[in-house]
């Protein structure tokens, strides 16, 4: 049986419709503290993914601080803003090129600034190095943040690992995600679309978080069957501008840096 737990769309970074997850109780859904404070507004998904409208009420300030560190590594993991077209908490992020150039997105264009003619050839943009454990924890936290309160108890042991300093050697489940992105297209509308599914049968209990953030797509499966492997299929795109390039990632065996090769050379005329 497949059940939709959350289905939410946000357009143009609007704060409405607003979605609040959890009840405003005296117990944090993560650390279970009954004496915690809730002064900070806790986003269910980080603002760096463009989230302005989904919040988890029962995430305490202490846990929010832990997750902030995870989000720093997630920001290094996702493609640059000139690809994703995502405007985060501090706007669009810059990507710097060796030699003094930078490339960045705006609300209606992609801009390049350089003192040297470095963009007349092939250039490589390297993201900062990231921790695979912290990136995965940032994504797993998103899934748990969106769970209805009655579902959280299933994840109590997982949450203990999530908020600890432990790594993958203490995590028995697969750490998988499918990440896709498409070529920048300024005609695409700014859209955040998030769905959380629950699949349950006699021998299976699986949760799947699917999120589209402008030109970025993330699919995070979580199964309590630690031997289960997730596979993904995509529907063929009608046009190249609609096509997403997907990569299946196992964080337990993955690099700690992304590099993007850009070719600005003009083809020679015949």
The tens digit of pLDDT for each residue in 60-78 reads 999 999 999 999 999 999 9
* Angle of helix 132-146 versus helix 61-77 axis, rounded to 10: 120
The Cα 1–Cα 116 span in angstroms is 58
Global confidence as pTM: 0.90
The Cα 41–Cα 60 span in angstroms is 9
Domain boundaries, the chain: 2-86+129-255
pLDDT for 244 equals 81
Flag whether pLDDT at 236 surpasses 90: no
Flag whether pLDDT at 111 surpasses 90: no
Mean pLDDT of 73-97: 87
Q: Which of 70-74, 78-82, 84-88, 260-264 has the lowest mean pLDDT?
A: 260-264
pLDDT for 194 equals 98
Residue 270 or residue 197, greater confidence: 197
Mean pLDDT of 4-19: 93
At residue 126 the predicted structure's pLDDT band, cuts being 50, 70 and 90, is confident
Record the tokens describing residue 151, joined without a space. Answer: 């579902």
At residue 135 the predicted structure's pLDDT band, cuts being 50, 70 and 90, is very high
The Cα 168–Cα 133 span in angstroms is 7
The Cα 63–Cα 42 span in angstroms is 10
pLDDT for 201 equals 83
The Cα 44–Cα 41 span in angstroms is 10
Residue 116 or residue 64, greater confidence: 64
Query: What integer best gives the mean pLDDT of the chain?
Result: 88
């Amino acid at each position: 049986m497949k059940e939709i737990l959350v289905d939410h769309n946000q357009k143009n970074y609007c704060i409405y419709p607003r979605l609040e997850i959890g009840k405003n109780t005296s117990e944090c859904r993560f650390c279970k503290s009954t004496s915690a404070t809730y002064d900070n507004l806790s986003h269910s998904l980080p603002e760096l993914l463009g989230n302005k409208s989904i919040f988890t009420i029962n995430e305490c300030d202490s846990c929010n601080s832990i997750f902030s560190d995870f989000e720093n590594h997630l920001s290094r993991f996702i493609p640059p803003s000139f690809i994703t077209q995502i405007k985060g908490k501090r706007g669009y992020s810059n990507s710097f090129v060796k030699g003094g150039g930078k490339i960045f997105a705006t609300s209606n264009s992609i801009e390049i600034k350089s003192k040297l003619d470095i963009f007349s050839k092939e250039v490589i943009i390297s993201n900062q190095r990231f921790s695979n454990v912290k990136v995965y924890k940032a994504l797993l936290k998103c899934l748990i943040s969106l769970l209805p309160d009655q579902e959280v108890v299933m994840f109590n042991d997982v949450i203990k690992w999530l908020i600890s300093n432990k790594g993958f050697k203490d995590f028995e489940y697969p750490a998988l995600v499918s990440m896709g992105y498409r070529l920048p297209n300024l005609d695409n509308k700014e859209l955040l679309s998030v769905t959380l599914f629950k699949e349950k049968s006699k021998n299976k209990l699986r949760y799947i978080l699917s999120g589209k953030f402008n030109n970025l797509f993330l699919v995070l499966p979580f199964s309590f069957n630690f031997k289960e492997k997730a596979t993904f299929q995509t529907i063929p795109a009608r046009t190249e501008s609609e096509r997403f390039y997907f990569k299946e990632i196992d964080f337990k065996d993955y690099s700690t840096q992304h590099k993007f090769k850009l070719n600005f050379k003009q083809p020679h005329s015949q």
